[in-house]
Structure 1
Amino acid sequence: MTLHSDAVSVLGGWQPVDREQEALKQAYLGFLGARDDACARSCEPGHITASALVLDATAERTLLTLHPRVGRWLQLGGHCEPTDETLLGAALREATEESGIRGLRVEAQPIHLDVHPITCSLGVPTRHFDVRFLVRAPVGAQPVRSAESVDLQWWPLDSLPANVDDLLPMIDAALARLR
């Protein structure tokens, strides 16, 4: 199975919790149906990315990275690599690389989708079709900042940094999954 076919399978089997997420799911599936290169960073109209909302063992804190290009606190994640065989694997790889935490556990189904415009490594405006997964850290996990981050911190869910309102729907979806 290729990453592209995995993305089609994962999204096709996912049951979103609301109409907005269902509409995005259908848009992603349409994009994947139209582009064999939809998961490749080189796809200029946009490309599928994989990210991880990392929660601590108590589900009271989330690990956010201060992104050097964007200058904002974000969940961990990024581009799919040619070696990635699954979206889930790409999200777990990104979370592990960016957090330095071993033993992360990723939930099999996405929790949230988000499309956002960005000028990434292509150097031209494009879009990220982000597929977001819930990832749980082991008890006592201590993150180690990578070169991909200006800062990396655990944030209490009830005391998040300013300017992260766009992360709240993803956090709400993760917490709903845990209930």
Structure 2
Amino acid sequence: MATADHAAVNVLTGYRPKTTAECVAVQRVRALMEGEPGSPWHRSSPLHITASALIVHPDSGRVLLRWHQRHQSWLLVGGHADPGEHDPLAIALREGREETGLPDLAPWPDAEVRHLVIVPVPANSREPAHEHADIRFVLATSAPEAVRPENPDAPLRWLTPDEARMAITEANILDTLSRVEPLLVR
């Protein structure tokens, strides 16, 4: 296993999958790590690691969703590693800042993985069908009013968990929300 790939394995070390599908996903990510050095992060690999986060404002109990034009649905913030990146939490933080403009994002209530899911991505004109092994975290902000969309095609919405459930159409995102919601109970 390549040294640079250890960060992903390290974040999964204490992680306890909650479903059979998630157990399989963790096994697939570990097998991916045993392959060619660096390949778990390459966008050209049929299965590669991505990192995302559900952003929350703990004081109000709201969550932030981002419209994803390609999928025509409300999703989490996150994405692919940039060249040289191998730490899923750092990737989720960078993507979160880029996509929301929130400067104070931090892991909340801790830096633990909240969900690992293999997400199928359909082919388009630029790339073939592939899968994302998405490692998910929770990030918090204390300044929700500072949110700024990355571009006009990617609006952002602060929602209560009930409102988010009504807006989300992807089952795996609903699953992530259900894992985070108990943390928001005040």
Q: Measure the CA separation in 2 of the matches of 1:153 and 1:41.
A: 28
CA deviations on 1:74-129 (whole Å, 9 max, x unpaired) are 00001111132411100000111101001111132110011111137951111111
Q: How does 1:119-130 map to 2 (within 5 A)?
A: 119=123, 123-130=127-134
Aligned length: 178
1:149: Cα distance to partner? 4.3
1:28: Cα distance to partner? 1.4
Q: Which runs of 5+ in 2 are unaligned?
A: none
Change (3 A) 1:165 1:127: closer
- Aligned equivalent of 1:58: 59
- Aligned equivalent of 1:167: 173
Q: Measure the CA separation in 1 of the matches of 2:21 and 2:182.
A: 16
Q: How does 1:91-106 map to 2 (within 5 A)?
A: 91-106=92-107
Q: How does 1:65-84 map to 2 (within 5 A)?
A: 65-84=66-85
Q: How does 1:125-164 map to 2 (within 5 A)?
A: 125-147=129-151, 149-160=153-164, 161-164=167-170
Q: Structure 1 stretch 56-65 or stretch 104-113: which is displaced more?
A: 56-65
1:150: Cα distance to partner? 2.7
RMSD: 2.4
1:162: Cα distance to partner? 5.0
Q: Structure 1 stretch 10-19 or stretch 59-68: which is displaced more?
A: 10-19
Q: Measure the CA separation in 2 of the matches of 1:129 and 1:122.
A: 20
Change (3 A) 1:24 1:162: closer
- Aligned equivalent of 2:44: 42
Q: Among residues 116, 120, 134, which one is paired with 1:117 in the alignment?
A: 120
> By percentage of residues, which structure has more helix?
2
Q: Measure the CA separation in 2 of the matches of 1:148 and 1:41.
A: 25
Q: Which runs of 5+ in 1 are unaligned?
A: none
4+ residue segments displaced more than 6 Å: none
Amino acid at match of 1:151: P
